Structure 1
Amino acid sequence: MSGLEVFGHLPDGRSVERYRIAAGDLEAWVMTWGATVQDLRHRGQRVVIGADTLTPYLEELVYAGAIVGRFANRIGQARFALDGETFATDPNFLDRHTLHGGAEGAGNLLWTADEVRQDRIRLTLTLPDGHMGFPGEMTVCACYSIEPPGCLRVVIEARTTRATPCSFAHHGYFALDDSGTITDHLLEIAAEHYLPVDADLIPEGPPMPVSGTAFDFRSARVVGQAGYDHNFCLSDGAAPMRPVARLISPSSGLAMQVATTEPGLQVYDGAHLGGARGHEGRALQPKAAMALETQAWPDSPNRSDFPGCILRSGETYRTETTYAFFGDGAD
Structure 2
Amino acid sequence: MKMARALHPLFVAVLASCLVAALGLSSGAADAAAGRKMVGVYELKKGDFSIKVTNWGATLMSVVLPDSRGNLADVVLGYDTVAEYVNGTAYFGGLIGRVANRISGARFTLDGKAYRLFPNDGKNTLHGGHRGFSKVVWTVKEHVGGGSSPFITLYYHSFDGEQGFPGDLDVYVTYQISDAHVLSVHMNATARGKATPVNLAHHAYWNLGGHGSGSILGEKVRLFASRYTPVDAALIPTGRLAPVAGTPYDFRRPTAVGARIGGLLRRGVTGYDTNYAVDGGERGGLRRQLRRVAVVRDGASGRAMELWADQPGVQFYTANGLSGVRGKGGKVYDRHDALCLETQGFPDAVNRPNFPSQIVRPGQVYSHDMVFKFSF
Q: CA deviation at 1:61?
A: 4.7
Unaligned runs of 5+ in 2: 1-13, 23-38, 67-71, 265-270
- The two structures have a TM-score, normalised by structure 2, of 0.82
Q: Which moved more, 1:35-44 or 1:168-177?
A: 35-44
| Separation in 2, partners of 1:123, 1:55 | 19
How far residue 56 of structure 1 moved from its aligned partner, in angstroms, is 3.2
Which has the larger strand fraction? 1
3-state SS, counterpart of residue 93 of structure 2: coil
Q: In the TM superposition, what whole-angstrom CA distance separates every residue of 1:131-158 from its partner, at most 9, and x where no partner exists? A: 0000001110000000221111000111
Change (3 A) 1:10 1:29: farther
2:239/2:352 contact within 8 Å kept: no
Find out whether 1:256 has 2:305 as its counterpart. yes
SS in 1 for 2:321: helix
User: Which one of the candidate residues 43, 59, 62 is aligned to 1:20?
Assistant: 43
> What letter is aligned with 1:230?
T
Structure 1: 5+ residue stretches without partners: 1-8
Q: Does 1:229 align with 2:273?
A: yes
Is the CA contact (8 Å cut-off) linking 1:143 and 1:154 kept in structure 2?
Answer: yes
Alignment partner of 1:78 is 2:106: yes
Q: Relative to structure 1, is the Cα distance of residues 311 and 205 closer, same or farther in structure 2, using a 3 angstrom cutoff? A: closer
2-structure distance, mates of 1:309, 1:50: 29
Match of 1:175 in 2: 207
CA–CA distance in structure 2, aligned partners of residues 186 and 82 of structure 1: 41
Equivalent residue for 2:26? Answer: none
Equivalent residue letter for 1:128: F
Pair 1:320 & 2:343 matched: no
Q: Does 1:240 align with 2:268?
A: no
Q: Deviation of residue 123 (structure 1)?
A: 0.3
How much has 1:180 moved relative to structure 2? 1.0
Matches within 5 A, 1:59-70: 59-70=87-98
2:99 partner SS? coil
| Aligned residues: CA RMSD | 1.3
Amino acid at match of 2:282: D
**How many residue pairs are counted as aligned between the two chains?**
318
Report the CA distance between 1:59 and its aligned residue: 3.0
**Residues 1:112 and 2:139 are matched in the alignment:** yes
Asked if the contact 1:56/1:277 (under 8 Å) is kept, the reply is: no
Contact 2:53–2:60, Cα closer than 8 Å, also in 1: yes
Q: CA deviation at 1:12?
A: 4.3
Following superposition, the deviation at residue 220 of structure 1 comes to 0.6
Q: d(CA) in 2 for partners of 1:321 and 1:268?
A: 17
The offset of 1:242, in angstroms, is: 1.6
Q: 1:138 aligns with which of 169, 174, 186?
A: 169
Query: What is the alpha-carbon distance in structure 2 between the residues aligned to residue 56 and residue 194 of structure 1?
Result: 34
Q: Is the 8 A contact 1:166 1:310 kept in 2?
A: yes
One-letter amino acid matched to 1:32: N
Q: Could you tell me whether the CA contact under 8 Å between 2:97 and 2:134 is conserved in 1?
A: yes
Letter in 2 for 1:69: G
Please say if 1:93 is aligned against 2:137: no
In 1: Cα distance, 2:169 partner to 2:216 partner: 36
Q: Aligned to 1:13, what secondary structure does the other structure show?
A: helix
Q: Which amino acid aligns with 1:53?
A: T
> How does 1:204-215 map onto structure 2 within 5 Å?
204-215=238-249
* Distance (whole Å) between structure 2 residues aligned to residue 211 and residue 253 of structure 1: 29
The CA deviation string for residues 227-283 of structure 1, in whole angstroms up to 9 with x for no partner, is: 111100012245311211011111111100000011000011001112101110111
Counterpart-to-counterpart distance in 2, 1:216 and 1:289 = 19
- Number of the residue aligned with 1:194: 228
Distance 1:233 1:66 in 2: 22
Q: Distance in 2 between matches of 1:291 and 1:307?
A: 22
What's the counterpart of residue 254 of structure 2?
A: 220
**Aligned twin of 2:33:** none
Q: Which has the higher helix share?
A: 2
Q: Distance in 2 between matches of 1:237 and 1:296?
A: 12
Alpha-carbon contact 2:239-2:354 (below 8 Å) kept: no
Offset, 1:285: 1.5
1:199 Cα deviation after fit? 1.0
Whichever residue aligns with residue 103 of structure 1, its letter is H
Asked whether the equivalents of residues 175 and 186 of structure 2 are also in contact (C-alpha less than 8 Å), the reply is: yes
How far residue 45 of structure 1 moved from its aligned partner, in angstroms, is: 1.6
1:102 paired residue number: 129
Distance 2:172 2:372 in 1: 19
- Counterpart of 2:273 in structure 1: which amino acid? D
Per-residue CA deviations over 1:172-229 (Å, capped at 9, x if unaligned) read 0000004311111101000010011111111113110000001110001010134111
- Is the counterpart of residue 46 in structure 1 residue 69 in structure 2? no
Q: Which amino acid aligns with 2:109?
A: A
Contact 2:90 2:322 survives alignment (8 Å):
no
- Please identify the structure whose Cα radius of gyration is greater: 2
User: Matched residue of 2:134: which SS?
Assistant: helix
Range with bigger deviation, 126-135 or 59-68: 59-68
- What secondary structure is seen at the aligned counterpart in 1 of 2:342? strand
Relative to the length of structure 1, the TM-score reads 0.93
The match for 2:180 is: 149
